[in-house]
């Protein structure tokens, strides 16, 4: 199920700078064998979590990019089924955001490592980047762009890490679907259809299990 494209008949909304950076949580990719490229669909049937909303994340990121001087794109890797080569999700998502949705290249930073193909890896990569670039922290407010289904689990992972409290960094969560629905009412119907699918129910059950495991200290990284 594809997400709608940018509305073409609306003027760009002027936005204030609200964050030192916005973290865009990475999404699983799907190899398009016909076009010989990686795609970011809403649902990937072969993926254990089913719901991924990759393109929706890119569109939402482009909608709010004026609220921060930097977009930090996280993500691990996927294996090309034809070549066996591992490809960075962060790099591919960053290219989608810059090339298709016209966000300036200089403000989009892919930071995913090929070995960190899960949300806990995203947390680690964000912290590593902030430690290496402390000069970007002025207001010490970081936005995190997450789809609705991933929000609760990702929030636990980020906010349980002591780094942010120790450095007085405030994390503010931005929901992909809210950004899109505020931009165009068509996205509300799209989200309602998406979350009513069988794949979304599979995803919901897996997310809830992940949250329970996190709280029990038994979490195993999967995505």
| Number of domains making up the chain | 1
pLDDT-derived band of residue 2, with 50, 70 and 90 as boundaries? low
Tell me whether residue 128 is in a domain. Answer: yes
Cα gap 156→199, rounded to integer Å: 23
CB 213 within 8 A of CB 157: no
Q: Please give the residue range of the domain that contains residue 140.
A: 21-216
- The residue-averaged pLDDT of 50-58 equals 94
Which pLDDT value is given to residue 5?
A: 61
Contacts 24+ apart (CB under 8 A), 196-200: 197/1, 197/43, 199/43, 199/45, 199/50, 199/51, 200/50, 200/51, 200/149
pTM value is 0.89
- Domain CATH code at residue 116: 3.40.50.620
Tell me whether residue 12 is in a domain. Answer: no
Tell me whether residue 14 is in a domain. Answer: no
CB 4 within 8 A of CB 42: no
Copy the structure tokens of residue 191. 């989200």
Which pLDDT value is given to residue 205?
A: 93
CB 21 within 8 A of CB 143: yes
What are 163-210's pLDDT values in tens digits?
999 999 999 999 999 999 999 999 999 999 999 999 999 999 999 998
CA 160 to chain centre: 19
Strand partners, 72: 23, 109
What are 59-83's pLDDT values in tens digits?
999 999 999 999 999 988 888 999 9
Tell me whether residue 153 is in a domain. Answer: yes
Q: What letters, b where the CB count within 10 A reaches 16 and e where it falls short, cover 181-212?
A: bebbeebeebbeebbeeebbeebeebbeebbe
């Amino acid at each position: 199920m594809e997400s709608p494209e940018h509305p073409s008949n609306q003027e760009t909304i002027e936005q204030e700078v609200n964050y030192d950076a916005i973290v865009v949580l990475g999404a699983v990719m799907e190899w398009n064998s016909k076009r010989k490229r990686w795609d970011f669909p809403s649902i990937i049937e072969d993926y254990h979590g089913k719901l991924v909303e990759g393109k929706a994340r890119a569109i939402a990121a482009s909608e709010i990019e004026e609220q921060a001087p930097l977009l930090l794109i996280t993500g691990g890797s996927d294996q090309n089924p034809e070549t066996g080569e591992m490809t960075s999700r962060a790099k591919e998502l960053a290219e989608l955001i810059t090339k298709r949705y016209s966000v300036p290249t200089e403000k989009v930073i892919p930071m995913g490592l090929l070995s960190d193909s899960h949300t806990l890896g995203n947390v680690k990569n964000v912290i590593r980047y902030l430690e290496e670039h402390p000069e970007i922290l002025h207001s010490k407010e970081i936005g995190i762009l997450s789809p609705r289904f991933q929000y609760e689990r990702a929030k636990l992972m980020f906010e349980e890490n002591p780094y942010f409290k120790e450095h007085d960094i405030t994390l503010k969560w931005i929901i992909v679907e809210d950004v899109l629905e505020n931009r165009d009412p068509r996205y509300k119907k799209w989200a309602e259809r998406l979350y009513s699918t069988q794949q979304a129910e599979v995803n919901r059950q897996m997310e809830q299990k992940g949250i329970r495991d996190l709280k029990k200290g038994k979490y195993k990284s999967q995505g």
